[in-house]
Amino acid sequence: MKKIILYFVAVVSILVIVVSMWGIGNSILLTTGKVEDKDIKKSISEVAAVKSISKPKGDYYNILVLGDSLAKGTGDETNKGFAAYFADYVKKKTSKKVKLDNLGVNGDISTGLLEIVRSKNAASLIKYSNTILISIGGNEISKIRRYDAVSQAAQIKTIEDIYLSNLKSIFETIRQQNKNCKIVFIGLYNPFGDNIGSDKVKLINDWNKETQDVIADDSNSVFIPTYDLFKYNSKEYLTIDNFHPNGSGYKAISKRIEEVVK
């Protein structure tokens, strides 16, 4: 009997390890893998599955979420993410019904997001949104984690320039559909892990600064800094993959949004 129990415990332990390793690998693939055209097409196809809507009946406060795995809430053990936590906050502040639509796509980059906001179905959601939450850029900056800041400066600048150009187009496209909604953009925290050099710190700071400059051109948009949140609370706020926030991390991002937009 004792041998059977030990055997059972061993089997369960192996299964737990296998599932954990699969989860880590899958998360890393979602965030740091190379994003090809097929991935962008997949992003668009996921949004295409969303039914085109007309103006919601009744008195609604509409929240739309756009972007990557952080927008989607990947890593939150409650499957909520910062968007759903923020929606809970809004429910306490308004007598309207709160409607939340999340078009976040795991692994997405700014090129894919631009295609999404230009799609017909996303446009119908954008049109009636009161607040739009955006998280994008983490996958792009993660691709250059092994780049040398000096010898590969030109390649890094090319990636950043494409991102900034896409970001401007994303904002322009949103404003063509909706001139009055508030756009809330989530800044980047450190996606490189504990072993980060001063060159990568400068890269993140510059990336956030350039992003903030683009957002500042829109009078009804705000940039939400997160670097400081995770710098001092990485063990508390990140999942085992050391990239995605856990429930506590997403709650911290939502709390920061609340502090800025209230």
Chain length of the chain: 262
Residue 191's closest CA among 236, 150, 146?
Answer: 146
Q: What is the pTM of this model?
A: 0.82
Which pLDDT does position 87 carry in this prediction? 98
Extended strands (E) in 145-238: 182-186, 221-224
CA distances for 84 relative to 54, 130, 212, 253, 255, angstroms: 23, 15, 24, 11, 12
3-state secondary structure of 97: strand
Which residues are bridge partners to 222 per DSSP?
184
Give the pLDDT confidence of 22-39 residue by residue, as tens digits.
343 443 333 433 444 444
Give the position of tokens 């041998």: 3
Q: Which helix (H) or strand (E) holds 65?
A: strand 60-67
DSSP structural state of residue 187: P
CA distances for 37 relative to 25, 108, 122, 230, angstroms: 22, 11, 19, 31
Torsion of CA 212, 82, 55, 113, to 10 degrees: 50
Which pLDDT does position 26 carry in this prediction? 40
Residue 132's closest CA among 117, 112, 150, 121?
Answer: 117
Which pLDDT does position 8 carry in this prediction? 45
Give the pLDDT confidence of 143-201 residue by residue, as tens digits.
888 888 888 999 999 999 999 999 999 999 999 999 999 999 999 999 887 777 888 89
Torsion over CA: 56, 178, 254, 66 (sign):
positive
Residue-by-residue DSSP string for 106-161: TT--HHHHHHHHTSHHHHHHHHT-SEEEEE-SHHHHHHTTTS-TTTTHHHHHHHHH
Domains defined along the chain, listed by start: 2-261 (3.40.50.1110)
Q: pLDDT in tens for each of the 262 residues of the chain?
A: 544 544 444 444 444 333 333 343 443 333 433 444 444 455 555 555 554 455 565 689 999 999 999 999 999 999 999 999 999 999 999 999 999 999 999 999 999 999 999 999 899 899 999 999 999 999 999 888 888 888 899 999 999 999 999 999 999 999 999 999 999 999 999 988 777 788 889 999 999 999 999 999 999 999 999 999 999 888 899 998 888 999 999 999 999 999 999 7
The residue type at 211: T
